[in-house]
Amino acid sequence: MRKIHWLLALAAVLLIASRPWLTIRRVIPDDPGWADVIHIVVGLGLGPLALFYLAWSCAQGRWRRYFPWLRADVGPLLRDFAGLVRGRIPAADGSGLFPVIKGLTMLALLAAAVTGWGWWWTEGTREVIAWRDAHALAARVFVIALALHIVAVAAHVLELLREG
Cα distances (angstroms) measured from residue 62 to each of 21, 54, 149:
38, 10, 18
pLDDT tens digits along 104-146:
999 999 999 999 999 999 988 999 999 999 999 999 999 999 9
Cα distances (angstroms) measured from residue 115 to each of 31, 102, 122, 133:
23, 20, 10, 9
Average pLDDT over residues 50-73: 96
For the chain, domain boundaries: 2-163
Distance CA 120, CA 135 (A): 10
Would the pLDDT of 85 be above 90? yes
CATH number given to 2-163: 1.20.950
pLDDT of residue 23: 85
Amino acid present at 14: L
Distance CA 92, CA 19 (A): 31
pLDDT tens digits along 34-43:
999 999 999 9
pLDDT class of 91 with cuts at 50, 70, 90: confident
